[in-house]
Amino acid sequence: MFMGKSQEVFGENEGPNWDLKTAVQNQLAMMLPVFLGATALVRKRSKKLLPYLLLVGFFHTLWRRVVCARCQYYGKTCSTLLGIFTSRIMPRDEKKKLDRNTMLIDFTMVGLIAFLPLKEALSTKKVRVLYPVSLLLGISAIFFRGCPECGNDFCPLKQLYESVVRG
């Protein structure tokens, strides 16, 4: 159920190409907490909404230069569609390879995006249960559908998957 199907792509240092359906599902799972967090901020603390949306916008645009433009999935369907999206908004970065430290920063930013609206989400009746469930869904989608298929063996999340799930 959680495993995304992949198709091998021929070429040096290239990983599997996710099927479009899995990639779309994973991207939607990752965007649901952002939508719910923004909704909670609108209702409870609108002053935090603009900084939150700026951070989300930065993460999905300019920050992709440091991650996705250096990734082997640049221009291809990856577990979140960001490989294709990035190739449409900026050129590939051939100067530096994607590495473990960059991935750690990327995951820290994901955590920050999840944490910023947490107080407001948990104090909003309609979002109180949906927000944590959506975070779990988004993380699970990447962890169980993305990590097993990913060719970025240096990624800390992939390494965690390998040690926890595969022993």
* DSSP for residue 146: I
Using one digit for the tens of pLDDT, what is the confidence trace for 24-67? 999 999 999 999 999 999 999 999 999 999 999 999 999 999 99
In a domain, 10, yes or no: no
How many whole angstroms separate alpha carbon 126 and alpha carbon 92? 41
Output the pLDDT for position 54. Answer: 97
Output the pLDDT for position 1. Answer: 30
Output the pLDDT for position 7. Answer: 35
In a domain, 3, yes or no: no
Q: Which helix (H) or strand (E) holds 70?
A: none
In a domain, 151, yes or no: yes
Structural domain of residue 33, as residue ranges?
A: 16-164
In a domain, 30, yes or no: yes
Residue 134, token pair as written in the block: 């959506």
pTM here is: 0.84
In a domain, 125, yes or no: yes
In a domain, 11, yes or no: no
- Overall number of domains in the chain: 1
In a domain, 1, yes or no: no
In a domain, 128, yes or no: yes
Q: Are 97 and 91 in contact (CB under 8 A)?
A: no
